[in-house]
Amino acid sequence: MTATAQRKKSRHSDQPKNRLVRLWESVVFPGDLLAMAGAFILLLAVALALEAAGWEIGLRVVLPAGALSLIVGLMLARSQYNDLFALVVSGIYGAALIVLVAALSQPGGLAQGIYDVFGRSFQWLYDAFTGGINQDGLVFTLIISGLFWFLGHNLAWHLFRVNEIWRAVLPPGLVLVVNAVYYSGVGSLTPYLIIYVFVALLLVARAHLDAREWDWYANGVRAPKGFRRKMMGVGLVLAVG
């Protein structure tokens, strides 16, 4: 094989990899992975607080639903869709993925799991509209998973699309606070609130820095090298304080 042929072969073999790299860079910007991790910790703190308060939710369904909602929300935030259409698309994906995760969590395989999910959901609806009593934990888990899906979508959209940090962190925090206010057990929910506030403050610092960097870029001002890392360190110290 000649050197020219080898170069052509190498160039063709690199094309799929280059496309994947460009696709990744068009969706995930620097710092997004840390922000995603922080957003998931917020949802995790809320889910663990609900479980600690005695709510019978299936974390094997709720937590994957929250993680997937952040991933789908990030992709939609980087798309050209408007907020309403993105919300509709997210809801469709959310319904399908929540049913899939719930089915996989049931014994008997995927087909049996899907049958159980729909069968028990229809039974719950029938009992609800006919005056019966049905306290099926699976259906309650599906409802909570739907709530977490839209909390995750809201987090991702306002973190990565419009940079409205308070609209991102307040809805999950409201769920956490309401749960703590009406909780009458002997355990303490304070650790979950502390974790939530700590991570939320870090995300607030990130959002504020992103807004200032955009202003500097629009006005032709260059930030010093390593400025972002230093500012996030200051935000970390303030959050600890």
Instruction: Return the percentage of the chain with pLDDT > 90, whole number.
Output: 45
Q: What is the pLDDT of residues 97-155, one digit of tens each?
A: 999 999 999 888 899 999 999 999 999 888 888 877 778 888 999 999 999 999 999 99
Contacts for 113 with CB less than 8 Å, ≥ 6 apart: 102, 103, 104, 105, 106, 107
CB 67 within 8 A of CB 151: no
Greater confidence, 31 or 15?
31
